Amino acid sequence: MKFLDLAKVYIRSGGGGSGCVSFRREKFVEFGGPDGGDGGNGGSVWAEAVEGLNTLIDFRYQQHFFAKSGQPGMGSQRTGKTGDDIILRVPVGTEIIDEDEETVIADLVTVGQRVLLAKGGNGGWGNLAFKTSTNRAPARANPGQEGIERTVWLRLKLIADAGLVGLPNAGKSTFLAAVSNARPKIADYPFTTLVPNLGVVGIDGAEFVMADIPGLIEGASEGRGLGTQFLAHVERCKVLLHLVDGTSSTITKDYKTIVTELEAYADELGDKPRVVAINKIDALDSKTLSSRKKALEKASGGPVYAISGVAGKNLQDVLRALMTEIRAEAPVVESAPWQP
Protein backbone atom coordinates (compact mmCIF):
# COMPACT_ATOMS: atom_id res chain seq x y z
CA MET A 1 0.00 0.00 0.00
CA LYS A 2 1.37 3.42 -0.95
CA PHE A 3 1.74 6.10 1.70
CA LEU A 4 0.03 9.47 1.22
CA ASP A 5 -0.26 12.04 4.00
CA LEU A 6 -1.74 15.04 2.14
CA ALA A 7 -4.84 15.14 -0.05
CA LYS A 8 -7.14 17.81 -1.44
CA VAL A 9 -10.83 16.97 -1.69
CA TYR A 10 -13.87 18.76 -3.04
CA ILE A 11 -17.12 18.30 -1.15
CA ARG A 12 -20.72 19.43 -1.56
CA SER A 13 -23.67 18.81 0.68
CA GLY A 14 -27.09 18.06 -0.79
CA GLY A 15 -29.66 20.74 -1.38
CA GLY A 16 -33.05 20.64 0.30
CA GLY A 17 -36.10 19.54 -1.66
CA SER A 18 -38.72 22.08 -2.65
CA GLY A 19 -42.02 22.33 -0.82
CA CYS A 20 -45.16 21.23 -2.64
CA VAL A 21 -48.21 23.28 -3.59
CA SER A 22 -51.15 20.91 -3.47
CA PHE A 23 -54.84 21.02 -2.56
CA ARG A 24 -57.05 18.26 -1.34
CA ARG A 25 -59.78 17.54 -3.84
CA GLU A 26 -61.79 14.42 -3.12
CA LYS A 27 -65.28 13.48 -4.13
CA PHE A 28 -67.82 13.68 -1.29
CA VAL A 29 -65.31 15.56 0.94
CA GLU A 30 -66.96 18.87 1.72
CA PHE A 31 -63.91 20.76 2.95
CA GLY A 32 -60.64 20.49 1.02
CA GLY A 33 -57.70 22.78 1.59
CA PRO A 34 -53.93 22.79 1.18
CA ASP A 35 -52.06 19.52 1.75
CA GLY A 36 -48.61 20.15 0.18
CA GLY A 37 -45.81 18.48 2.10
CA ASP A 38 -42.35 19.82 2.97
CA GLY A 39 -39.22 18.98 0.98
CA GLY A 40 -36.64 16.60 2.43
CA ASN A 41 -33.36 17.83 3.90
CA GLY A 42 -30.19 17.41 1.86
CA GLY A 43 -27.47 15.00 2.88
CA SER A 44 -24.46 16.27 4.86
CA VAL A 45 -20.74 15.55 4.45
CA TRP A 46 -18.87 14.20 7.50
CA ALA A 47 -15.30 13.14 8.23
CA GLU A 48 -14.71 10.29 10.68
CA ALA A 49 -11.54 8.74 12.07
CA VAL A 50 -11.54 4.95 11.75
CA GLU A 51 -9.28 2.07 12.67
CA GLY A 52 -7.19 0.14 10.17
CA LEU A 53 -6.04 3.07 8.02
CA ASN A 54 -2.60 4.71 8.06
CA THR A 55 -2.58 6.51 4.72
CA LEU A 56 -4.77 8.85 2.67
CA ILE A 57 -4.09 6.97 -0.57
CA ASP A 58 -7.82 6.41 -1.20
CA PHE A 59 -8.26 10.14 -1.74
CA ARG A 60 -5.75 10.15 -4.59
CA TYR A 61 -8.20 8.22 -6.76
CA GLN A 62 -11.37 10.00 -5.67
CA GLN A 63 -11.34 13.68 -4.78
CA HIS A 64 -14.98 14.68 -5.28
CA PHE A 65 -17.68 13.82 -2.76
CA PHE A 66 -21.25 15.03 -3.34
CA ALA A 67 -24.08 14.20 -0.96
CA LYS A 68 -27.57 13.48 -2.30
CA SER A 69 -30.20 16.22 -2.37
CA GLY A 70 -33.52 15.90 -0.60
CA GLN A 71 -36.62 14.99 -2.59
CA PRO A 72 -39.42 17.51 -3.12
CA GLY A 73 -42.55 17.39 -1.00
CA MET A 74 -45.71 15.79 -2.33
CA GLY A 75 -49.44 16.07 -1.93
CA SER A 76 -51.38 14.42 0.88
CA GLN A 77 -48.96 16.05 3.35
CA ARG A 78 -46.11 13.77 2.30
CA THR A 79 -42.60 14.97 3.17
CA GLY A 80 -39.82 14.34 0.66
CA LYS A 81 -37.09 11.81 1.44
CA THR A 82 -33.95 13.12 3.17
CA GLY A 83 -30.75 12.84 1.12
CA ASP A 84 -28.11 10.32 2.22
CA ASP A 85 -25.06 11.60 4.10
CA ILE A 86 -21.51 11.00 2.90
CA ILE A 87 -18.79 10.01 5.39
CA LEU A 88 -15.11 10.49 4.57
CA ARG A 89 -13.29 7.73 6.47
CA VAL A 90 -9.80 8.91 7.38
CA PRO A 91 -6.94 7.55 9.52
CA VAL A 92 -6.62 8.54 13.16
CA GLY A 93 -4.39 11.61 13.36
CA THR A 94 -5.86 13.38 10.32
CA GLU A 95 -6.22 17.15 10.36
CA ILE A 96 -8.99 18.79 8.33
CA ILE A 97 -7.70 22.09 6.94
CA ASP A 98 -9.58 24.81 5.10
CA GLU A 99 -8.79 25.78 1.52
CA ASP A 100 -6.37 28.48 2.70
CA GLU A 101 -4.13 25.63 3.97
CA GLU A 102 -3.80 27.36 7.35
CA THR A 103 -7.11 27.22 9.21
CA VAL A 104 -7.51 23.90 11.04
CA ILE A 105 -11.16 22.87 11.00
CA ALA A 106 -10.73 19.72 13.10
CA ASP A 107 -8.06 17.34 14.38
CA LEU A 108 -9.30 13.74 14.51
CA VAL A 109 -7.11 11.97 17.07
CA THR A 110 -9.42 9.27 18.46
CA VAL A 111 -11.28 6.41 16.79
CA GLY A 112 -14.91 7.32 16.10
CA GLN A 113 -14.34 11.06 16.32
CA ARG A 114 -16.22 12.84 13.55
CA VAL A 115 -16.78 16.38 12.31
CA LEU A 116 -19.44 17.97 10.11
CA LEU A 117 -17.77 19.49 7.06
CA ALA A 118 -20.83 20.61 5.06
CA LYS A 119 -24.40 20.61 6.37
CA GLY A 120 -27.18 19.63 4.01
CA GLY A 121 -29.72 22.27 3.01
CA ASN A 122 -33.10 22.38 4.74
CA GLY A 123 -36.16 21.30 2.80
CA GLY A 124 -38.67 23.96 1.78
CA TRP A 125 -42.09 24.28 3.37
CA GLY A 126 -45.13 23.09 1.49
CA ASN A 127 -48.21 25.28 1.16
CA LEU A 128 -49.81 23.52 4.14
CA ALA A 129 -47.35 25.39 6.41
CA PHE A 130 -48.68 28.75 5.17
CA LYS A 131 -52.31 28.06 5.99
CA THR A 132 -53.79 30.61 8.43
CA SER A 133 -57.22 31.62 9.61
CA THR A 134 -57.33 34.38 7.01
CA ASN A 135 -55.46 32.60 4.23
CA ARG A 136 -57.24 29.30 3.86
CA ALA A 137 -55.84 28.40 0.45
CA PRO A 138 -52.18 29.52 0.18
CA ALA A 139 -50.75 28.94 -3.27
CA ARG A 140 -47.07 29.24 -2.42
CA ALA A 141 -44.29 27.02 -1.09
CA ASN A 142 -40.61 27.50 -0.25
CA PRO A 143 -37.76 26.25 -2.40
CA GLY A 144 -35.20 24.06 -0.70
CA GLN A 145 -32.02 25.51 0.74
CA GLU A 146 -28.95 25.04 -1.43
CA GLY A 147 -26.12 22.79 -0.33
CA ILE A 148 -22.65 23.97 0.72
CA GLU A 149 -19.73 23.51 -1.64
CA ARG A 150 -16.16 23.80 -0.36
CA THR A 151 -12.62 22.53 -0.75
CA VAL A 152 -10.67 21.09 2.17
CA TRP A 153 -7.24 19.54 2.72
CA LEU A 154 -6.66 16.32 4.61
CA ARG A 155 -3.27 16.15 6.32
CA LEU A 156 -2.20 13.04 8.17
CA LYS A 157 0.13 13.25 11.15
CA LEU A 158 0.96 9.77 12.33
CA ILE A 159 0.30 9.11 16.00
CA ALA A 160 3.24 7.35 17.63
CA ASP A 161 4.66 7.27 21.13
CA ALA A 162 8.28 7.53 19.97
CA GLY A 163 9.78 8.97 16.81
CA LEU A 164 13.12 8.09 15.19
CA VAL A 165 14.99 11.09 13.82
CA GLY A 166 18.42 11.49 12.30
CA LEU A 167 20.28 12.16 9.08
CA PRO A 168 19.87 9.78 6.14
CA ASN A 169 21.65 6.45 6.67
CA ALA A 170 21.87 6.89 10.43
CA GLY A 171 20.39 3.39 10.77
CA LYS A 172 16.83 4.30 11.75
CA SER A 173 15.11 1.67 9.61
CA THR A 174 17.55 -1.01 10.77
CA PHE A 175 16.87 -0.09 14.39
CA LEU A 176 13.08 -0.18 13.87
CA ALA A 177 13.28 -3.59 12.20
CA ALA A 178 15.45 -4.91 15.04
CA VAL A 179 13.12 -3.88 17.86
CA SER A 180 9.63 -4.16 16.31
CA ASN A 181 7.45 -6.05 13.88
CA ALA A 182 7.98 -3.45 11.14
CA ARG A 183 9.77 -4.46 7.96
CA PRO A 184 11.08 -1.29 6.31
CA LYS A 185 13.42 -1.41 3.34
CA ILE A 186 17.03 -2.03 4.40
CA ALA A 187 20.04 -2.39 2.11
CA ASP A 188 23.84 -2.28 2.21
CA TYR A 189 24.06 0.83 0.01
CA PRO A 190 23.28 4.48 0.87
CA PHE A 191 19.64 5.54 0.43
CA THR A 192 16.96 7.22 2.49
CA THR A 193 13.52 6.03 3.49
CA LEU A 194 10.83 7.86 1.52
CA VAL A 195 7.80 7.12 3.70
CA PRO A 196 7.31 6.87 7.47
CA ASN A 197 7.14 3.36 8.93
CA LEU A 198 5.32 2.33 12.10
CA GLY A 199 6.21 -0.55 14.38
CA VAL A 200 4.98 -1.87 17.72
CA VAL A 201 7.82 -2.26 20.23
CA GLY A 202 7.59 -4.53 23.27
CA ILE A 203 9.73 -4.07 26.38
CA ASP A 204 9.29 -5.37 29.94
CA GLY A 205 5.70 -6.49 29.35
CA ALA A 206 4.52 -3.22 27.80
CA GLU A 207 4.17 -1.94 24.26
CA PHE A 208 4.47 1.37 22.48
CA VAL A 209 4.34 2.55 18.87
CA MET A 210 7.50 3.81 17.20
CA ALA A 211 7.67 5.76 13.94
CA ASP A 212 10.66 5.88 11.61
CA ILE A 213 10.66 9.42 10.22
CA PRO A 214 12.42 9.70 6.82
CA GLY A 215 15.91 11.17 6.94
CA LEU A 216 16.15 14.90 7.45
CA ILE A 217 18.82 17.14 5.96
CA GLU A 218 20.05 20.64 6.60
CA GLY A 219 17.34 23.09 5.54
CA ALA A 220 14.52 20.55 6.01
CA SER A 221 12.48 23.06 8.02
CA GLU A 222 12.50 25.32 4.95
CA GLY A 223 11.31 22.52 2.67
CA ARG A 224 14.62 21.13 1.40
CA GLY A 225 14.70 17.43 0.63
CA LEU A 226 11.62 15.79 2.12
CA GLY A 227 11.50 18.87 4.34
CA THR A 228 8.32 19.78 6.13
CA GLN A 229 6.51 16.92 4.42
CA PHE A 230 7.54 14.55 7.21
CA LEU A 231 8.56 16.89 10.04
CA ALA A 232 4.85 17.17 10.76
CA HIS A 233 4.76 13.51 11.82
CA VAL A 234 7.20 14.26 14.65
CA GLU A 235 4.74 16.67 16.29
CA ARG A 236 2.56 13.95 17.82
CA CYS A 237 5.40 11.85 19.28
CA LYS A 238 5.86 11.91 23.06
CA VAL A 239 9.61 11.32 22.86
CA LEU A 240 12.24 11.37 20.12
CA LEU A 241 15.07 8.92 19.66
CA HIS A 242 17.88 10.78 17.92
CA LEU A 243 20.17 8.33 16.16
CA VAL A 244 23.61 9.53 15.10
CA ASP A 245 25.82 7.59 12.70
CA GLY A 246 28.87 6.58 14.70
CA THR A 247 30.95 6.07 11.55
CA SER A 248 30.63 9.73 10.58
CA SER A 249 33.70 11.92 11.11
CA THR A 250 31.45 14.95 11.78
CA ILE A 251 29.33 13.39 14.48
CA THR A 252 28.82 16.60 16.48
CA LYS A 253 27.79 18.54 13.37
CA ASP A 254 25.39 15.78 12.39
CA TYR A 255 23.70 15.99 15.79
CA LYS A 256 23.38 19.77 15.73
CA THR A 257 21.97 19.74 12.20
CA ILE A 258 18.93 17.71 13.24
CA VAL A 259 18.39 19.67 16.48
CA THR A 260 18.51 22.94 14.54
CA GLU A 261 15.93 21.75 12.01
CA LEU A 262 13.57 20.50 14.73
CA GLU A 263 13.73 23.80 16.60
CA ALA A 264 13.35 25.83 13.39
CA TYR A 265 10.23 23.90 12.36
CA ALA A 266 8.36 24.36 15.66
CA ASP A 267 9.32 25.43 19.16
CA GLU A 268 7.53 22.47 20.72
CA LEU A 269 9.72 20.04 18.79
CA GLY A 270 12.82 21.51 20.37
CA ASP A 271 11.25 21.05 23.81
CA LYS A 272 10.27 17.40 23.33
CA PRO A 273 12.11 14.82 25.45
CA ARG A 274 14.99 13.32 23.46
CA VAL A 275 17.05 10.19 23.88
CA VAL A 276 20.36 10.31 22.03
CA ALA A 277 22.16 7.22 20.77
CA ILE A 278 25.28 6.67 18.71
CA ASN A 279 24.61 3.88 16.23
CA LYS A 280 26.78 1.40 14.27
CA ILE A 281 29.22 0.82 17.12
CA ASP A 282 29.99 -2.62 15.67
CA ALA A 283 32.00 -0.79 12.99
CA LEU A 284 34.09 1.22 15.50
CA ASP A 285 37.08 0.33 17.62
CA SER A 286 36.94 1.09 21.32
CA LYS A 287 39.16 4.19 21.15
CA THR A 288 37.17 5.82 18.34
CA LEU A 289 33.89 4.96 20.02
CA SER A 290 35.00 6.47 23.33
CA SER A 291 36.13 9.76 21.78
CA ARG A 292 33.05 10.18 19.60
CA LYS A 293 30.70 9.29 22.43
CA LYS A 294 32.31 11.92 24.66
CA ALA A 295 32.03 14.51 21.90
CA LEU A 296 28.36 13.70 21.46
CA GLU A 297 27.68 13.84 25.19
CA LYS A 298 29.26 17.28 25.30
CA ALA A 299 27.17 18.50 22.35
CA SER A 300 23.89 17.08 23.68
CA GLY A 301 24.49 17.91 27.32
CA GLY A 302 23.20 14.53 28.45
CA PRO A 303 23.83 10.79 28.38
CA VAL A 304 24.44 9.04 25.06
CA TYR A 305 23.66 5.37 24.45
CA ALA A 306 26.03 3.32 22.32
CA ILE A 307 24.09 0.82 20.21
CA SER A 308 24.18 -1.27 17.09
CA GLY A 309 20.95 -2.02 15.24
CA VAL A 310 22.58 -4.63 13.03
CA ALA A 311 24.31 -6.51 15.86
CA GLY A 312 21.51 -5.92 18.36
CA LYS A 313 23.84 -4.40 20.98
CA ASN A 314 22.40 -2.42 23.92
CA LEU A 315 18.97 -2.02 22.30
CA GLN A 316 17.08 -2.91 25.48
CA ASP A 317 18.71 -0.04 27.39
CA VAL A 318 17.54 2.48 24.81
CA LEU A 319 14.02 1.06 24.76
CA ARG A 320 13.81 1.29 28.54
CA ALA A 321 14.94 4.91 28.39
CA LEU A 322 12.21 5.62 25.82
CA MET A 323 9.64 3.83 27.93
CA THR A 324 10.55 5.96 30.94
CA GLU A 325 9.93 9.14 28.97
CA ILE A 326 6.68 7.82 27.51
CA ARG A 327 5.39 6.83 30.94
CA ALA A 328 6.14 10.33 32.15
CA GLU A 329 3.88 11.72 29.41
CA ALA A 330 1.04 9.19 29.58
CA PRO A 331 0.39 5.70 30.93
CA VAL A 332 1.38 2.81 28.66
CA VAL A 333 -0.95 -0.13 28.05
CA GLU A 334 0.39 -3.27 29.70
CA SER A 335 0.46 -6.40 27.58
CA ALA A 336 -1.83 -9.21 28.68
CA PRO A 337 0.03 -12.27 30.02
CA TRP A 338 0.38 -15.05 27.48
CA GLN A 339 -1.78 -18.09 28.07
CA PRO A 340 -1.35 -21.44 26.35
Instruction: Mark out the alpha helices in the chain (DSSP H runs).
Output: 58-61, 172-179, 228-231, 251-265, 267-271, 286-300, 315-329
pLDDT of amino acid 66: 95
CATH of domain 6-156: 2.70.210.12
Annotation-wise, does 34 bind a ligand?
A: no
Query: How many CB atoms are located within 10 Å of the residue 188 CB?
Result: 5
Annotation-wise, does 215 bind a ligand?
A: yes
Task: List the beta strands (DSSP E) in 147-268.
Answer: 149-156, 162-165, 197-203, 206-212, 239-245
Residue intervals of the chain classified under CATH 3.40.50.300 are 162-329
For the segment 186-210, what is each residue's pLDDT rounded down to a tens digit?
Answer: 444 444 555 667 777 888 888 888 8
CB 97 within 8 A of CB 44: no
Annotation-wise, does 308 bind a ligand?
A: yes
CB 299 within 8 A of CB 256: yes
pLDDT of amino acid 48: 94
Annotation-wise, does 134 bind a ligand?
A: no
Residue type, 320: R
pLDDT band per the 50, 70, 90 thresholds, residue 217: low
- Where does residue 72 fall: left (phi above 0), alpha (psi -120 to 50 degrees), or beta otherwise? beta
pLDDT of amino acid 195: 64
φ, ψ for residue 114 (rounded to 5)?
-140, 160
Annotation-wise, does 171 bind a ligand?
A: yes
Is CATH 3.40.50.300 what the domain over 162-329 is classified as, yes or no?
Answer: yes
* pTM, rounded to two decimals: 0.70
For the segment 116-141, what is each residue's pLDDT rounded down to a tens digit?
Answer: 999 999 999 999 999 988 888 899 99
Cα separation, 284 vs 280, whole angstroms: 7
Annotation-wise, does 170 bind a ligand?
A: yes
Annotation-wise, does 212 bind a ligand?
A: yes
φ, ψ for residue 89 (rounded to 5)?
-90, 120
The answer on pLDDT for 68 being more than 60 is: yes
The answer on pLDDT for 79 being more than 80 is: yes
Three-state SS at 244: strand
The answer on pLDDT for 245 being more than 70 is: yes
Annotation-wise, does 169 bind a ligand?
A: yes
| 94 vs 196 pLDDT, higher one | 94
Residue intervals of the chain classified under CATH 2.70.210.12 are 6-156
Cα separation, 199 vs 182, whole angstroms: 5
Annotation-wise, does 21 bind a ligand?
A: no
Q: Please report, rounded to a whole number, the percentage of residues in the chain having pLDDT higher than 70.
A: 86
